[in-house]
């Protein structure tokens, strides 16, 4: 596995990663479930939080995949790398979009088109991810 024995404290690090990943995966799945249960289409805040939760699920899956990596580069490594970068970007993007939305709504003078705002954030995120992969 990637967690080679030449790395100092490898078993400790392996266990820390596994614990953090399982906690992260559990937390993000529960968060996604509770969001879907409350029907995210009713509120843009819920939509944004659901998007953050789903991104976290993918980020956790990427971290979990590293547990199964071999010593050599393989397709799993590419999938992991792509998942890691895109979910990382999506988490950051939706967290930032949520903050911007809060400030716009608190400003009261702006009443953003909710569907439009969400779609714009999503498309922007996808474009950035593609740029990372294809540039």
Partner 1 sequence: MFFSDYISYNNGDLYCEINSPPNATKSVKLITMVITKVIPIIAAVLITIFAYWLTIKRLKAFPKNLLSTFGLETGKLFWYPAVLILTFAPCIAYSFTMKLLDREGSLITKAMHLMLTHGIGFSNAIVYGIQSKKKKEMDYLEIRGSNFEIDDDDVSVEEELRRGLN
Residues that bind partner 1 (CB under 8 A): 2-4, 6-9, 12-14, 16-17, 20-21, 23-28, 30-31, 34-35, 38, 43, 45-46, 49, 52-53, 56-57, 59-60, 62-63, 65-66, 69, 73, 76-78, 80-82, 84-85, 88-89, 91-93, 95-96, 98-100, 102-103, 105-108, 111, 132-135
State CA 65 to chain mean position distance: 15
Helix or strand run (H / E) with residue 43: none
What span, in angstroms and rounded, lies between the C-alpha atoms of 91 and 116?
19
Shortest CB 89 distance to partner 1, Å: 6
CB atoms within 10 A of CB 55: 23
Q: Which two tokens stand for residue 57?
A: 């699920």
How far apart (Å, rounded) are the C-alpha atoms in residues 1 and 134? 28
Which C-beta is closer to partner 1: that of 99 or that of 127?
A: 99
State the minimum distance, in angstroms, from the CB of residue 10 to partner 1. Answer: 8
CB of 116 to partner 1, least distance (A): 16
Q: Residue 113: how many CB atoms within 10 A of its CB?
A: 10
Tokens of 38: 């409350």
Nearer of residues 73 and 119 to partner 1, judged by Cβ: 73
Provide, rounded to whole angstroms, the least separation between the CB of residue 119 and partner 1. 19
């Amino acid at each position: 596995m990637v967690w080679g024995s030449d790395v100092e404290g490898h078993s400790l690090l392996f266990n820390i990663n596994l614990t953090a990943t399982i906690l992260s995966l559990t937390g993000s799945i529960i968060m996604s479930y509770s969001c879907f249960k409350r029907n995210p289409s009713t509120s843009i805040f819920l939509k944004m939080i659901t998007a953050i939760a789903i991104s976290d699920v993918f980020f956790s899956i990427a971290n979990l995949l590293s547990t199964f990596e071999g010593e050599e580069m393989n397709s799993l490594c590419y999938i992991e790398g792509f998942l890691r970068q895109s979910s990382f970007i999506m988490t950051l993007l939706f967290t930032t979009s949520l903050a911007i939305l809060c400030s716009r709504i608190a400003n009261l003078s702006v009443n953003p088109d909710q569907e439009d705002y969400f779609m714009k954030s999503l498309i922007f995120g996808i474009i950035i991810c593609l740029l990372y992969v294809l540039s």
